[in-house]
Amino acid sequence: MTETNAEHKHPGTGTYVTIAAVLTVITLVEVGVFYVPAFEAFLAPILLTLSAAKFALVVMFYMHLKGDHPLFTAILTIPVLIALGVAIALLFLFGVFTLGGSGA
């Protein structure tokens, strides 16, 4: 049986609502962290981690990559990694990041 006519299992309504609740909580935490001065020194790593978690949840459960064919995961992951690499390279190239610490 091919993927075309196979019915790969999607999560149920309960899972979808749970994921939405988790996404809402993460967004509230993000905004909360933004307003707390104590987190200022760690703001970037905290926010980027939370953002990555939201990204992964949507892709895995709402876009169904978790139970879908691995080729789809590769088709998404490779361009995301290339885009991330290009972004980091450009930030070094334009002096936003430097090897000795953050730049301008």
By the 8 A CB rule, do 19 and 59 touch?
A: no
What span, in angstroms and rounded, lies between the C-alpha atoms of 65 and 62?
8
Footprint on residues 1-30 left by another protein (CB under 8 A)? 2-5, 10, 12-13, 16-17, 19-20, 23-24, 27, 30
By the 8 A CB rule, do 61 and 15 touch?
A: yes
What span, in angstroms and rounded, lies between the C-alpha atoms of 37 and 18?
30
Q: Which residues bind another protein (CB under 8 A)?
A: 2-5, 10, 12-13, 16-17, 19-20, 23-24, 27, 30-31, 34, 43-44, 47-48, 50-51, 54-55, 58-59, 61-64, 69, 71-72, 75-76, 78-80, 82-84, 86-87, 90-91, 94, 96, 104
